[in-house]
Every structure is written in C-alpha cells, then in structure tokens.
C-alpha cells in the first residue's frame, strides 16, 4: 500500500474494515442453496418474470456491469466502481478523503452545484477558483489557491452550465502539480464532446480519478448509475465506504441490456442526433438578435439574454421549462437539447420562423428487438446523408446501400442477429423494420407522387413499379440461375421484398432476367430504389388520391 494514499485518506477510513456482505464473500453462488443472507425464499407479489431474483440481494459490484463499463471507458476492470449516480461518487470521495471541520475541497464556479452540497453535508470547507470571463480555467491560479490546502479538486468538463471543455493540458498540469490532492474529473457530458477524455491520464497520475454517469448520454437518469474510474487502490478504498448493495437488481438487468453492443449502437445513434440538433440550435439561435449563445460541447446551450427571469416566464407560459442560471452568471438561461420537435418549439419561443422545419423533415426511427435480432432503423426522406448500414451480412449491406443511395434518402441500419445460424431472421427483420420506418416517415403521404416505375435497365435487366397504396402486395418475377451469391441464399431476396412491401403497405412489382444472380439482385434493388425515389418525392400539398387519404 502506498504511503502517499494513506497520508491523504481519513485515518479512520484507512484503518477500518468495510462491511462484508453475504454476497461479497462468495465469488460465485450460482446453483447453491442460498441460506446465508436471511433472504426470503419466496418471490414477492406479483410473481411475474420481472421479479425473478428480486428476493435475493444483488451483487455488491455486479461483474457483468463492471466489465461492460471497463470496456466502454477503456480501463481495466479493477479500476471501476459503480454507485447510485455520480452524485453518490462525489459524496463517497468527500467522505473518504476529507476530515470534517478540517479539510477542504476546491471547485471552479460557475459549475455544477453538487460539489458544494457534498462538502456542506460532510462539514467540509470550500475553496472556490472562478473560471475566467471566457469560462476557461487558469491552471496556475488554481494550483496556487489549492496546492497542499485542499484534499479534492473537482473539475467539470464539459462544464455545466457553460458547456465548454477544460483543456486536457490544463487538467494534466493540475494533476502533476497537486500530487497531494485527488483530482476528480466530472465527465458527465463527455460523450457529447469532440475532445479527448481525461481517462487517458489515469495510469500516469495516481491522484487522478474520473467520474462518469449513464444519466445523460445513455438516457438512464432514472436508473441511477454513476461510475468512478481510478487506480485499484482508490477503488478498494471507496469500496469500503459505499452502501453494501448499492445497485438494485432491476437496474442491473436494465444496465446490462443498455450496454449490450446493440444498446450502445442505439445510444450512439441518439448521441449523433443530439449533436446535430445542438449544432442546428446553435446556428439558428445565433441569428436571433439581443441574445448570445455560447458554443457547447454538451447536450445543452447556455444563452445570455437581456432579462433572464422574463425569458424564463415567457417559456413557462408556453409550457417549456428551462433553467435560469442567473445566480451563477447574470442573465443567463440553460436549455437542454430535446427532440427535433421540442427544439423547434424552443426556436419558435425565440421568434424563429420554423415553417421550413415543420414541413420538410420526414423522419422515423424504429427499434425492434426479438429473440433472434436487434434492429435499429432510422430514415430521413429529406436528407441523403448519412447512409450507414451494418447488418453483419456484407452482400446485404451492399444491397441496402443501393436502396438508400438510389432511393435518395438517408438510412441508418444497425442489425445484430443470429447470422451464425442463418441469414433468414436478420434479412426478414431488417425488411420489416425498414418498411415500417419508411411508412412512418411518409406519415399521411401529403404531397408525394405516390407512384414510381423504372423500365428495364440495360445493364441490370430489372424493372420495378411501386404504388404507395396503403396495401402491401408483391409481384416478384425472377429466375435466378444459381441459388447462392457467395454465402447469401438468393431466395431471401423475394422474402425481403415480401416483408418490405407488407410493412411499407405498398404494391411493388419487380422483375429481373439475366444469367448472373448477383447482377440481377443488384438490379432489383436499384430499380426498386429508383421507383421508390419517384414515389416518395414531394411535389404538391395534396394527398395523391381521389379518396383524400391513402
């Protein structure tokens, strides 16, 4: 054990033995009769599948969660501790290192409010080093104010509420020059930023710790999970103080699902949307006169207005709650980035003309989960980019790219299926999700052509016609000369279009001739795409049916 850590730890914490729970003493109790923890052998009411295992205490530090988090954050498993939200992590740090009525922590206003609260609760002193006028942090000023005087320095990056980053070189300088303080970096919003994480400094500076949360980027605020990343020595020390079984069983089960490879793809896709929306909001609001919008690397914007309390009231009267941050920075408000619709309502409240946004965006997202497949399908009929396809089947990816490219729409598909068994489930479930997504994006079909057709194209010998009629019908004529294209069974092509036409509720006629199955299939996808491209085009404000609806 290092002398250094012992010197900065509260002596009673250093010498105490943590609570040893029934679960923590046994590495693996699966299959054993569990009469060790005074649990109740019966399931609670109601006895549904969801309460399975709820009569048992959870693992104190659930292994499956720890190893997923270690992989995501890029650290070793023994450098991870999970707690009930990052706020509890801060509280634990203060309780382990700070002697009440003697020690202090340091933070850099304007910043997150809980550092002060954690100190106040524990009777711990506070040293404040204000950010500069441009919200940057002066490392030398902080080091002079805190060196050998404070036990913990809390640094928030991207900073809440200002949205800017602390330069990683500044963090490193502080860690290097304050070796007798814990440098605790709060990265609650780091997933939204285009800048390096301080995690890369962990192995270089034993006094550095990084705090993470699933509340923001992973949309899990209601589950309450925060993470401490630190040296194993510090992790063990904090582990002595944390409550015996901090993470409830239902939360553990949900976290494992959310952090699965597919869950992460959904999260990352949503993060991408939020970042795009942040940029759009920044651009639009920068044009509004009388306010100043600060650049943000997080999922909110700080805005300087002429009178924050009246702006706040104005939003409230429109049913929108925002945060008045004037107590920390005069006449500022902080607005979270919401859905496209919510953001448009914010723009409108600022007097921005949003007509352009209300008519043009035809988008949809489908997340579909079955026992065999996990599918995410996102379409935007009014954008051509991005086209990102990953189904685990190379040939199929290529065909779907053709469909999006020649269909002229943005398409993201991520599918995780049992392709090791066969391709059937994945192809069918992608077809279902894609058809459904396109149908949802089309909405009431106002203004579209509805029909599209493509005559046989020389190189492909394929023809297609489409009527977005509201009724799924497929007429498919193709005699493939070979049953396989590489490892891809050609019969799945008809299957794909059958499920696709059914969910899109479209009449689709496809035919192809030729001597090469690969060319024929590619021709079919291209022809279908071009017909679709015509059919989904908006040309008027009318619904293209004499009945007034389709």
Ligand X SMILES: *Cc1c(COP(=O)(O)O)cnc(C)c1O
Sheet holding 363-369, edge to edge: 363-369, 373-380, 410-417, 387-390
Residue 156 forms beta bridges with which residues?
186
Interaction of residue 186 with ligand X, rule CB under 6 A: yes
Q: Which of 157, 160, 380, 534 binds ligand X (CB under 6 A)?
A: 160
Q: Which of 23, 62, 87, 296 binds ligand X (CB under 6 A)?
A: 87
- Smallest CA-to-CA distance from 373 within 420, 334, 326 is with 420
Closer to ligand X by Cβ: residue 188 or 198: 188
Residue 231 Cα distances to 203, 302, 425, 477, 497, angstroms: 7, 34, 44, 64, 54
Q: Which of 73, 107, 112, 500 binds ligand X (CB under 6 A)?
A: 112
Stretch that binds ligand X, among 24-32, 83-91, 348-356, 443-451 (CB under 6 A): 83-91
CB of 537 to ligand X, least distance (A): 44
Size of the site for ligand X (CB under 6 A): 12
CB of 342 to ligand X, least distance (A): 19
Output phi, psi for 456, to 5 deg: -55, 130
Residue nearest ligand X, Cβ-based: 85
What letter does residue 78 receive in the DSSP assignment? G
Closer to ligand X by Cβ: residue 216 or 530: 216
CB of 213 to ligand X, least distance (A): 3
**Enclosing H/E stretch for 436:** helix 424-442
Measure the CA angle with vertex 452, ends 446 and 457; round to 5°. 160
- 85 Rama sector, left if φ>0, alpha if ψ -120 to 50, beta otherwise: left
Stretch that binds ligand X, among 22-30, 85-93, 162-170, 433-441 (CB under 6 A): 85-93
Closer to ligand X by Cβ: residue 87 or 284: 87
CB of 220 to ligand X, least distance (A): 9
CB of 157 to ligand X, least distance (A): 9
CB of 188 to ligand X, least distance (A): 4
**Exposure b/e, 80-111, CB count within 10 A at least 16 = b:** bbbbbbbbbbbbbbbbbbbeeeebbbbbbebb
- Smallest CA-to-CA distance from 365 within 412, 397, 404 is with 412
Interaction of residue 188 with ligand X, rule CB under 6 A: yes
Interaction of residue 156 with ligand X, rule CB under 6 A: yes
Interaction of residue 215 with ligand X, rule CB under 6 A: yes
Interaction of residue 296 with ligand X, rule CB under 6 A: no
Closer to ligand X by Cβ: residue 85 or 514: 85
Closer to ligand X by Cβ: residue 86 or 400: 86
Closer to ligand X by Cβ: residue 188 or 249: 188
Q: For residue 351, with 0-12 CB atoms within 10 Å meaning exposed, 13-18 middle and 19 or more buried, which class applies?
A: exposed
Interaction of residue 305 with ligand X, rule CB under 6 A: no
Stretch that binds ligand X, among 11-19, 32-40, 79-87, 352-360 (CB under 6 A): 79-87
Closer to ligand X by Cβ: residue 83 or 365: 83
Stretch that binds ligand X, among 81-89, 143-151, 511-519, 525-533 (CB under 6 A): 81-89
* Ordered DSSP codes for 186-254: E-TTGGG-SS--GGGGTTT-TTEEEEEESSSTTS-TTT--EEEE--HHHHHHHHTTS-SS-S-HHHHHH
Between CA 357 and CA 105 the distance in angstroms is 47
Closer to ligand X by Cβ: residue 9 or 108: 108
With beta carbons less than 8 A apart as the criterion, state whether 437 and 379 touch: yes
194-213 residues near ligand X, rule: CB under 6 A: 213
Q: For residue 504, with 0-12 CB atoms within 10 Å meaning exposed, 13-18 middle and 19 or more buried, which class applies?
A: buried
Q: Which residues bind to ligand X, rule: CB under 6 A?
A: 85-87, 112, 156, 160, 186, 188, 213, 215, 221, 226
């Amino acid at each position: 054990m290092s002398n250094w850590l012992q010197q900065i730890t509260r002596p009673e914490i250093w010498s105490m033995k943590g609570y040893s729970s029934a679960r923590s003493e046994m590495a693996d109790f699966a299959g054993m009769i569990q009469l060790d923890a005074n649990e109740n052998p019966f399931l609670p009411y109601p006895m549904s599948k969801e309460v399975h295992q709820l009569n048992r205490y959870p693992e104190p530090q659930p292994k499956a969660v720890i190893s997923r988090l270690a992989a995501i954050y890029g650290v070793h498993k023994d450098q991870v501790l999970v707690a009930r939200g990052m706020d509890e992590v801060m509280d634990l740090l203060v309780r382990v290192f700070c002697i009440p009525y003697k020690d202090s922590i340091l933070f850099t206003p304007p910043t997150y409010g809980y550092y002060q609260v954690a100190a106040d609760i524990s009777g711990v002193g506070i040293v404040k080093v204000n950010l500069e006028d441009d919200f940057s942090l002066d490392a030398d000023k902080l080091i002079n104010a805190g060196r050998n005087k404070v036990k913990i320095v809390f640094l928030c990056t991207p900073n809440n509420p200002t949205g800017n980053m602390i330069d990683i070189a500044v963090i490193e300088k502080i860690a290097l020059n304050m070796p007798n303080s814990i440098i605790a970096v709060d990265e609650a919003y780091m997933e939204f930023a285009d800048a390096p994480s301080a995690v890369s400094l962990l192995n270089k500076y034993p006094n550095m710790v990084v705090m993470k949360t699933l509340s923001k980027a992973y949309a899990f605020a209601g589950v309450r999970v925060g993470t401490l990343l630190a040296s194993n020595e510090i992790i063990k020390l904090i582990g002595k103080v944390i409550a015996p079984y901090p993470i409830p069983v239902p939360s553990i089960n949900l976290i494992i699902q959310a952090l699965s490879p597919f869950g992460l793809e959904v999260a990352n896709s949503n993060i991408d949307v939020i970042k795009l929306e942040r940029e759009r909001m920044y651009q639009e609001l920068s044009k509004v006169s009388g306010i100043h919008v600060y650049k943000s690397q997080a999922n909110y914007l700080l805005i300087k207005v002429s009178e924050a309390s009246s702006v706040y009231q104005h939003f409230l009267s429109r049913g929108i709650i925002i945060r008045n941050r004037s107590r920390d920075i005069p006449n500022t408000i902080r607005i979270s980035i919401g859905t496209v619709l919510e953001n448009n309502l914010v723009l409108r409240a600022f007097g921005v003309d949003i007509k352009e946004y209300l008519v043009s965006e035809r988008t949809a997202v489908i997340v579909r989960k079955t026992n065999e497949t996990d599918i995410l399908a996102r379409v935007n009929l009014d954008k051509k980019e991005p086209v990102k396809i990953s189904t685990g089947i190379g040939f199929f990816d290529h065909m779907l790219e053709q469909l999006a490219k020649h269909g002229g729409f943005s398409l993201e598909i991520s599918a995780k299926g049992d392709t090791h068994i066969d391709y059937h489930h994945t192809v069918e479930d992608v077809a279902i999700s894609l058809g459904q997504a396109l149908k949802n994006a089309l909405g009431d079909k106002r203004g579209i052509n509805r029909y599209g057709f493509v005559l046989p194209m020389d190189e492909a010998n394929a023809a297609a016609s489409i009527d977005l009629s509201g009724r799924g019908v497929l007429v498919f004529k193709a005699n493939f000369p070979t049953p396989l294209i590489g490892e891809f069974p050609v019969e799945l092509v008809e299957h794909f279009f059958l499920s696709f036409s059914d969910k899109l509720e479209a009449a689709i006629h496809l035919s192809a001739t030729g001597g090469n199955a690969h060319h024929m299939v590619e021709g079919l996808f291209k022809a279908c795409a071009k017909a679709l491209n015509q059919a989904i085009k908006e040309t008027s404000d009318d619904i293209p049916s004499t009945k007034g609806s389709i």
